[in-house]
A and B are shown apart, each in its own frame.
Chain A
Amino acid sequence: MFKAFSTVVMRDLLLAMRHRSDILTTLFFFVIAISLFPLGVGPELNTLREIAPGVFWVAALLASMLSLERLFAIDFADGTLEQLLLTPQPATILVLAKVLAHWLITGVPLVLLSPLLGLQYDLSSDVIQVLMLTLLLGTPSLSLIGAIGAALTLGLRGGGVLVSLLVLPLYIPVLIFGAGAVEATVSGLGGTGHISMLAAIFLLSLVIAPLATVAALRVSAE
């Protein structure tokens, strides 16, 4: 069972390495979206420091959502997905593996890049640490929840717009607690409560999302 899990993860990572531009587009979307705000709001550092948590989290949300389509669409088009669902290994494990690979490709780079972008917003090192921690805890939940939306909209016309309509409302709790933790740290209140809530959301979605995703995949791929 673990072998099947690691095989799927390695396969997806290998595929992603062969299409490196796909990863880079998501990453650069994140960078550009964050860099647009100082140009729109104005370069006042005090304002930037205040809006930074929200901007980073909204950009992470959108970047993660934009990359969702790739999660199942290619496998669905060439029939791999059907084979995966037919294997004797439990489908939830395989879905978890695909989600993990998706997170490694799209979530981890965002986490690693955020300190650099944090400097653009003049964030102190404490705040940057909390920002990285919340992104590290929050982006797996985004991938897990997003997988449900990606599975539901598989092979539909206008899937890209539809997936945003389905997934963004479910992302809102992650956004509230993720940005809330950073904001609480900036204002000196300490963000441990928010971080615990983020961890709780992650655990909850880890339990529920694979089941819902498999059910949705079975409906979509039949």
Chain B
Amino acid sequence: MSSNRFNWFRFSSPATFYPLAGRLVPWFSAIAIILIVIGLYMSFFVAPTDYKQGEGYRIIFVHVPASWMSMFIYLVMAFWAIIGLVFNTRVSGMMVQSLAPTGALFTFLALWTGAFWGKPMWGTWWVWDARLTSELILFFLYIGYIALHSSIDDKRRADRASAILVLVGVVNIPIIYYSVKWWNTLHQGASVSVKSGSSMASIMLITMLIMALGFWFYSIAVALARVRSIILERERDANWVSELPEIKR
């Protein structure tokens, strides 16, 4: 293989990925904090009051980005699961494992903020609507993944078994996304779509996108920080770990 070609597998080894993740975490955390602070300021003070839903609509700035992330993180997990199964790389399985708690958190946040939104708008905390139900299933899928992974002691086997589970569950993602179109129940249709653009004021849209980006960077930062702990935990007997400056002291 020619030496000037970039080797994509360079960072698939825990020994090279660990320091890379360590260098990236502060950057992603800083960007996440800046974006979320700007987004929160805009959502509370800049975005105008909605003429129909009043002040209560402001929860959309947390609700929609959290729902996006809940689905997107699952897709990223599925991506790493495929990479792990095909190339048998160790870091892929660790990435899946490190993303799962964040995904479960965002799914719970989406359901919770949805309940807070539903109470004043629909007059109820919860309805058995297609989108709510499929989002709840997504939450169960995350929990199932975490439970399966933690109950297998051999971590390499755990990675591969739960990767299969993640891939089976991926069927649910398009169902959540299109549920409002297919069943047309109480949950309102998508506020933003690629085809027809946005159905809301541009300042609200910008605020929402800033929050979504902030959540995105937060997820990356947290996942990378978590994957560092996972690497240390699993590779504790490896030579390169015992030579790390923070371990050696």
Query: Which residues of A are at the interface with B, using a C-beta cutoff of 8 A?
Result: 148, 152-153, 156-158, 162, 165-166, 168-170, 172-173, 176, 204, 208, 212, 215-216, 219-220, 222
Could you pull out 10 A-B pairs where Cβ atoms are within 8 angstroms?
A: A152-B162, A153-B148, A162-B148, A168-B140, A169-B144, A170-B168, A212-B167, A212-B168, A219-B164, A220-B161
Q: Are B161 and A172 in contact (CB under 8 A)?
A: no
Bound Cα distance A212, B160 (Å): 12
> Contacts A169-B140, A172-B133, A172-B137 hold; do A148 and B151 have CB atoms under 8 A apart?
no
**Chain B residues with CB below 8 A from A156, complex form:** 151-152
Q: Hey, what's the 0/1 contact readout for B199-236 against A, CB within 8 Å counting as 1? A: 00000000000000000000000000000000000000
**Chain B residues with CB below 8 A from A208, complex form:** 168, 171
| Whole-angstrom distance between the Cβ of B181 and the nearest chain A Cβ | 16
B143 interface residue per 8 A CB criterion: yes
Bound Cα distance A222, B171 (Å): 27
Q: Are B161 and A152 in contact (CB under 8 A)?
A: yes
**Chain B residues with CB below 8 A from A165, complex form:** 140, 143-144, 147-148
Total contacts A-B at CB 8 Å: 55
**Chain B residues with CB below 8 A from A153, complex form:** 148, 151
Q: Hey, what's the 0/1 contact readout for B70-89 against A, CB within 8 Å counting as 1? A: 00000000000000010000
Bin the interface of chain B by size. 20 to 34
Residue of B nearest to A153 (CB): B148
| Whole-angstrom distance between the Cβ of B108 and the nearest chain A Cβ | 15
Query: Which residues of B are at the interface with A, using a C-beta cutoff of 8 A?
Result: 85, 133, 137, 140-141, 143-144, 147-148, 151-152, 157, 160-162, 164-165, 167-169, 171, 175
**Chain B residues with CB below 8 A from A168, complex form:** 140
| With A165-B147, A170-B169, A176-B133 already in contact, 15 other A-B pairs whose C-beta atoms are closer than 8 Å | A148-B165, A148-B168, A152-B161, A152-B162, A152-B164, A158-B151, A165-B140, A166-B147, A170-B168, A172-B137, A208-B168, A212-B164, A216-B164, A220-B157, A220-B161
Q: Are A169 and B165 in contact (CB under 8 A)?
A: no
**Chain A residues with CB below 8 A from B157, complex form:** 219-220, 222
Q: Is the interface of A mostly helix, strand, loop or mixed?
A: helix
**Chain B residues with CB below 8 A from A172, complex form:** 133, 137
| Whole-angstrom distance between the Cβ of B132 and the nearest chain A Cβ | 13
Residue of A nearest to B168 (CB): A212
Residue of A nearest to B162 (CB): A152
**Chain B residues with CB below 8 A from A148, complex form:** 164-165, 168
Q: Are A169 and B137 in contact (CB under 8 A)?
A: yes
Bound Cα distance A156, B152 (Å): 7
Bound Cα distance A170, B160 (Å): 19
| Whole-angstrom distance between the Cβ of A56 and the nearest chain B Cβ | 19
Bound Cα distance A162, B161 (Å): 13
Bound Cα distance A176, B85 (Å): 32
**Chain A residues with CB below 8 A from B141, complex form:** 169
Bound Cα distance A59, B171 (Å): 25
Bound Cα distance A220, B167 (Å): 17
Q: Are B140 and A152 in contact (CB under 8 A)?
A: no
Residue of A nearest to B159 (CB): A219
Bound Cα distance A200, B141 (Å): 22
